[in-house]
Amino acid sequence: MSSILSIKNLSVGYDKNKVVKKCNFELQAGEIAVILGASGDGKTTLLKAIAGFLPHQEGEVTFKGEKIKDSTQKLIPGNEEIRLVNQDFELDVYHTVEENIKNRLLRFDGDYQEQRVKSMLRITKLTRFRNYKALEISGGQQQRLAIARALADEPELLLLDEPFNQLDFQTKSKISNHIRKYLKKNNIAALMVTHNGIEAMEWADKIIYMEKGKIKRIDEPQAFFEQPSSKREASFFGELNRLKIGEEELYFRPSFFSSEKTKSFSKALQVDFVQKQNLGWYSIFTFVFKGQEFNLFSTEDISGLSKIFIKPINFID
């Protein structure tokens, strides 16, 4: 299968300072990838360079087999089949929600415009705000409008920079699920930037993990969770327990335990129960092992356990 997007040895920076360093990866049509890393690791810079809005110091970006011209090679940067949703949204704030979406559809006939506007409003849950000016809606609603506008003319590649960071948990869950289903149904490839590993696992077919401007690993979400390369990488995907036993340090997820010994859960620990914190559908149980407290997550009452078997993480690096 040929890729829709190919990044080869791409380096991007400001003056002589390289922010993105020799990055390589590919994206297939309809594939959803997430660029994950901490603030300052070059995620947004990489995304903007892919869109053609920043100069490429080295390497190239190809879309559907054609090289993307960067901001030094094209008077008006960008590509009509690639849409970028920035964190600043770039809305026409004095236009209505409906007008913001329709402005992306001016080259199409009226029936198509109306159908697309209606569809985008439904997907992003903005139908009842269609006649509000963009400046009259909340930041989270503006974020959803920016996504609706980007999808309006059916691009083949969607680039998203922290697209759900202003949404509350309930709205975020619904909207992100609707948009992901829409992308998959319409075979639209997407590349999303986030610093949230849990969000990356929920959204991605594959995760592109960055550190200090370099791509350190590309893998499936579950592999990152279960077999992280390093403690830094592991920290993006949830809580990590650390226990010191003599000269040995053990790291394991709060969910990586069993009350019985198995092939995967083979390391035995004699423990004492400390406390329970109920968080709705699951609880956090705090135990102590040789003076060291740690947490376990469970949907069942495990407060009576005095011996557990854990699955330690063996970091690749």
Please give the model's pTM, rounded to 2 decimal places: 0.91
pLDDT band at 173 (very low <50, low <70, confident <90, very high): confident
Look at residue 164 in the predicted model and tell me its pLDDT: 87
Which residue would you say has higher pLDDT here, 30 or 75?
30
Residue 74 vs residues 51, 55, 66, 77, 212: alpha-carbon distances, Å: 12, 10, 14, 5, 29
Averaged pLDDT score across all residues of the chain: 93
pLDDT digits (tens, 9 = 90+) for 193-248: 999 999 999 999 999 999 999 999 999 999 999 999 999 999 999 999 999 998 98
Residue 163 vs residues 12, 88, 105, 236: alpha-carbon distances, Å: 22, 10, 22, 18
State the average pLDDT over residues 17-36. Answer: 96
Q: Between 139-151 and 110-123, two packed helices, what is the crossing angle to 10 degrees?
A: 140
pLDDT digits (tens, 9 = 90+) for 32-63: 999 999 999 999 999 999 999 999 999 999 99
pLDDT digits (tens, 9 = 90+) for 107-157: 999 999 999 999 999 999 999 999 999 999 999 999 999 999 999 999 999
Look at residue 174 in the predicted model and tell me its pLDDT: 86
Look at residue 25 in the predicted model and tell me its pLDDT: 98
Look at residue 187 in the predicted model and tell me its pLDDT: 95
Residue 49 vs residues 15, 17, 36, 46, 207: alpha-carbon distances, Å: 15, 15, 16, 5, 19
What tokens appear for 29 in the block?
């049509």
pLDDT band at 89 (very low <50, low <70, confident <90, very high): confident
Between strands 241-245 and 214-219, the pairing is unpaired
| pLDDT for residue 1 is more than 70 | no
Sketch out the chain's domains with CATH numbers.
1-81+188-230 (3.40.50.300), 239-310 (2.40.50)
What tokens appear for 286 in the block?
């705090």
pLDDT band at 76 (very low <50, low <70, confident <90, very high): confident
C-alpha span between 282 and 129 (Å, rounded):
36
Query: Is the separation of the CB atoms in 19 and 45 below 8 Å?
Result: yes
pLDDT digits (tens, 9 = 90+) for 283-302: 999 999 999 999 999 999 99
Amino acid in the structure at residue 113: Q
CB burial of 34-70 (b: ≥16 within 10 Å; e: otherwise) equals bbbbeeebbbbbbbbbbbbbbebbebebebbeeebeb
Look at residue 290 in the predicted model and tell me its pLDDT: 95
| pLDDT for residue 305 is more than 90 | yes
